[in-house]
Structure 1
Amino acid sequence: MGPLEPNVIELVVGLVAFLTVFAALAMVLLPRIDKTLAEREEATAGTLERAEAIESQALRVRAEYQAELSAARQEASRIRRAAHQEGLSLLAAVRSEGQKVREDMVAAAGVRLEADRVLAEAELREHVLSLATVLAGRIIGEPLTDVDRARAVADAFFAGAEAGSGS
């Protein structure tokens, strides 16, 4: 009996043992393996579906966030423009008010200067009149007491002086 001529009894016993082990494996072990593989496939598929659902939700949330961020940027830009415009209008109003106050102050100062000039001129005329009366009294040698006449002469003199300096 060599390797090319097998023993039939050993061959049959080996074949029966193989088929018994194969049947036991096919009936007990293969269903368990199939069940485990199915569970793993289901877990993998469920995890993949959950991952896809989470990814789609994350993309949706990101899109909402981007939209809100864009809206907030536009609102901030609008607020900045409105504040800028309001600042410009307030600045123009303040400048206008300042210009008006300045013009009022200049006008009031002009009126005050004119009033002071008129008052100073009147005081100067009175002083010149009294000095001229005293000087005329010294020249004549006796005091002049007719103040009304001296005032009329002085007024005529000043009117002539103003007419001469005006032309």
Structure 2
Amino acid sequence: MLSYLATEVVEEAEHSPIIPIWQEVVVGTVAFAVLCFVLMKFVFPIMEKTFAARVDAIEGGIKRAETAQAEANELLEQYRAQLSEARTEAARIRDEARADAEGIRQDVLAKAREESDRIIAAGRDQLAAQRESIVRELRSEVGTLAVDLASKIVGESLADEARSRGTVDRFINELGAGAR
């Protein structure tokens, strides 16, 4: 065993630390080739499938997100258009209601004016009729009072009533004409 160790020490002495032993190079190359073969045959295809699936999922997610964003934007535009339409319709209805209210107001005012004019005219007619009635009554009473007063002043009865009425009426008419 000693001789074996001695041979080994001698070989180590001959061996340079910079240049590797050729057997190690061959074994390392074979091991590296086997490792590369196993990686390329079994591991890399699985990794490629996983990466492809991940890329597809990401790109599909991005496409779905873009599609969802486009649909959301389209719906937003539709809602904005509907809102604009609703606002326009509300403004139109409000304007129509204002116009209808103004028309109703004008109708009510016209009817109120007509009614007040009718009431005023009826009042004037009634006042004129009452005035005429009062004037007739007053003329009759004034005539009677004037005849009675004249009878007392003269001291005799004024028998001719028709003549006295004509005189009294003429007197009252002259007073009425003078007052105007």
Measured against the shorter chain, the TM-score band is 0.7 to 0.9
1:7 CA drift (Å): 0.5
- SS of residue in 2 equivalent to 1:3: coil
Deviation string for 1:91-149 (max 9, x for gaps)?
22222222222222222222112111101111111221222232123223355565444
Structure 2 matches for 1:38-117, cutoff 5 A?
A: 38-117=52-131
Is the Cα contact below 8 Å between 2:143 and 2:169 reproduced in 1?
A: no
1:5 CA drift (Å): 1.2
Instruction: Determine if the alignment matches structure 1 residue 123 to structure 2 residue 134.
Output: no
Aligned residue identity for 1:87: A
The total of aligned residue pairs comes to: 166
Is the Cα contact below 8 Å between 2:151 and 2:157 reproduced in 1?
A: yes
Partner of 1:26: 40
Aligned residue identity for 1:132: A
- Worse-matched range after superposition: 136-145 or 94-103: 136-145
Aligned residue identity for 1:82: E
CA-based RMSD of the aligned residues comes to 2.0
Q: State percent identity of aligned pairs.
A: 35
- Worse-matched range after superposition: 96-105 or 47-56: 96-105
Aligned residue identity for 2:168: A
Following superposition, which runs of at least 4 residues in structure 1 exceed 6 angstroms of deviation? none
> If the length of structure 1 is used for normalisation, what is the TM-score?
0.87
Q: Distance in 2 between matches of 1:3 and 1:113?
A: 147
- Worse-matched range after superposition: 13-22 or 148-157: 148-157
Deviation string for 1:23-52 (max 9, x for gaps)?
111111111111111111111121111111
Instruction: Determine if the alignment matches structure 1 residue 141 to structure 2 residue 155.
Output: yes
Larger Rg: 2
> If the length of structure 2 is used for normalisation, what is the TM-score?
0.81
- SS of residue in 1 equivalent to 2:88: helix
Q: Distance in 1 between matches of 2:93 and 2:37?
A: 81
- SS of residue in 2 equivalent to 1:4: coil
Instruction: List alignment gaps of at least 5 residues for structure 1.
Output: none
Is the Cα contact below 8 Å between 2:151 and 2:158 reproduced in 1?
A: yes
Instruction: List alignment gaps of at least 5 residues for structure 2.
Output: 1-14
- Worse-matched range after superposition: 65-74 or 102-111: 102-111
